[in-house]
Amino acid sequence: MPERCVDASVAIKWVVKGETWRKKARKFLRDSIAAGIDLIAPPLFEYETESVIMMRSKRGFLS
């Protein structure tokens, strides 16, 4: 089965409203699922997403 590697910055756009390019990121997700493509992530993915969420929260972009 084909695979696509997802960066944390793209995954954040799937769930955080107001992100630049959110519509394109969500289309990428829908299209990948529809095509039966497995999404994989680099080893540090969890740490990277956590870091982005923490930064956005500290700057007041998340509530």
DSSP for 31-45, please give it.
HHHHTTPEEE--TTH
Q: Is the pLDDT of residue 50 over 90?
A: yes
The pLDDT mean for the chain works out to 93
Q: How confident is the model at residue 24 (pLDDT cuts 50, 70, 90)?
A: very high
Does the predicted TM-score (pTM) go above 0.85? no
Per-domain boundaries in the chain: 3-58
Q: Is the pLDDT of residue 25 over 80?
A: yes
**pLDDT of 14:** 96
Dist CA 9 CA 18 (whole Å): 13
Q: Percent of the chain at pLDDT above 90?
A: 78
